[in-house]
Amino acid sequence: MRRFIPKSLLGQVTLAIALTLFLVQGVNGYLGWRIEKQRVETALVNTLSLRLVASQRLREAGPLTVELQPGPRPALDESRRESRRGPRRGGRRFAGTDFTRADIFATLAGDRPLPELEQRLAETLRDNGREFEDIRLVERAVADDPVAQRFLERLARRRGLTERDLPRTIAIAGVRQDDGWDVVRAPVYRPHEHFGPVFPLARAALLTLLLSFVLWLVLRRITGPLAKLTRQTEEFARNPGKGRPMDEAGPEDVRRLIAAHNAMEARIGAMLDEKDVMLGAIGHDLKTPLAALRVRVEGVIDEVARARMVDSIEDITQTLDEILALARVGKSDAPPERTDLAALAAGVVEEFEDTGESVALEAARVVAPVHLTWLKRGLRNLVSNALRYGGDARVVVTTEGWEAVLRVEDNGPGIPEDRIADMMEPFTRGEASRNRATGGAGLGLTLARAVAEQHGGRLVLANRPEGGLVAELRLPL
């Protein structure tokens, strides 16, 4: 279920509002359809009850004879007006429909009973004083009822209706009284009869799509700059100080956020540049006197003291080199090159094999865009750590998902679980002594992590179940 939920702010807000709109519109539409359905049913029940009450009065009033005289119609006096108000037995028509008197209530195979409306009709008739012994109410197709066809033909001629305007079914109601049935008919009109409750839901869906599209256009103006700001921040994390300032766009609040972000990037970039200048100056100012000191040390007569001095100078020089290398990671303007990582790992392994170290290689062909020199240095540091603490190393190049993995395994003592995160911090050593030969300067893992982050990846350290440590450079493909 979670995979169908959009991850972006634009998608989640649009989906939430669209679902709310559909729910509200759907409920309102369905309630409106129910109200309209109740209104039509009530009108049908009232029409049938009125005609059944009138049919009883027409039947009780007896036959009426109407004498037609030629010539102009005289003005109707009051007595003749009363006669006009009385029933006309000859046609047995009232309110635009027919009623009949029958011995039985004839039903057809295609008739559909309407029990709920039948019960409502019975209650309405009793409320209006119409007594009866039995009641029936069915719905019938007009094509199956000749009486309904004649009625609808007269209705169409009188109102100028076409065949498409006429209902397809008719309600037939009958009540039994005095060993006979009074039968009346009324057309059945259904709102949206072909769709039922689906029609308001479909209308709600259409309105929701329209409103969601408009909402998406509005929200994109807000979330578009935010998405660009996210990409700008990710790019700045990979290459600080190399990106261009973003153009301010969107609402005022988003514009102010972009302006603040641009100012922050500019300040951080200036600080990083200042740091690089300072480190370069330190490296230059320290290496020159160290080189002079190295020359003067050669004049020391005591060989043991001279050797110790030379080792100290070399340690300081190497530490300076690592500090300067760490500061320069990610500062290259050259674009990454598509490189076969198996060949890269093989080159690093050969360097150690040439010095007699035990390093195994298991590599599959993986091509990825990388900064060749820096990735080599990061992998070299991991192999050096494995040899220093485990005595041997195994390099594996493979892929997992959308990541290229350069894995270095050893059989050493590993790292306590609570210190794994600390080991990637600068100047953190794996053993307590300050001997560079056994513990290094504490910058190897830090430099490897910086190389991985330069490529948008990560450095992962974990203890092996069978013993030893596994260090992985995971780079996105």
Do 64 and 94 meet the contact criterion of CB atoms below 8 Å apart? Answer: no
Q: What is the pLDDT of residue 423?
A: 75
- Tens digit of each residue's pLDDT (9 = 90 or more) over 289-313: 777 777 777 777 777 787 888 777 7
pLDDT, tens digit (0-9, with 9 covering 90-100), for 194-211: 456 677 677 777 887 888
Please state the domain extents for the chain. 1-62+92-238, 333-476
Pairwise CA distance, residues 381 & 446, whole Å: 10
CA distance 32 to 207: 15
Give pairs for 428-432: CB < 8 Å, separation 24+: 430/385, 430/389
Q: Give CA–CA dist 201/27, Å, rounded.
A: 8
pLDDT at res. 87: 43
User: Is residue 411 within 8 Å of residue 463, measured between CB atoms?
Assistant: no
Tell me which residue has tokens 């209706």: 161
Q: Which pLDDT score, from 0 to 100, does residue 332 have?
A: 58
Cβ burial, residue 149 (10 Å; 0-12/13-18/19+): middle
Please state the separation of Cα 79 from the chain's center in Å.
79
pLDDT lower than 70: segments of the chain = 1-4, 6-8, 10, 61-98, 190-197, 200, 238-242, 283-284, 325-334, 426-442
What is the rounded CA–CA span in Å between residue 351 and residue 371?
A: 19
pLDDT at 74: 52
Architecture of domain 333-476: 2-Layer Sandwich (3.30)
pLDDT at residue 319, rounded to an integer: 72
| pLDDT tens-place string over residues 61-100 | 655 444 445 555 555 455 444 444 444 443 344 444 467 8
Identify each DSSP E strand in 165-300 by its residue range.
169-176, 181-187
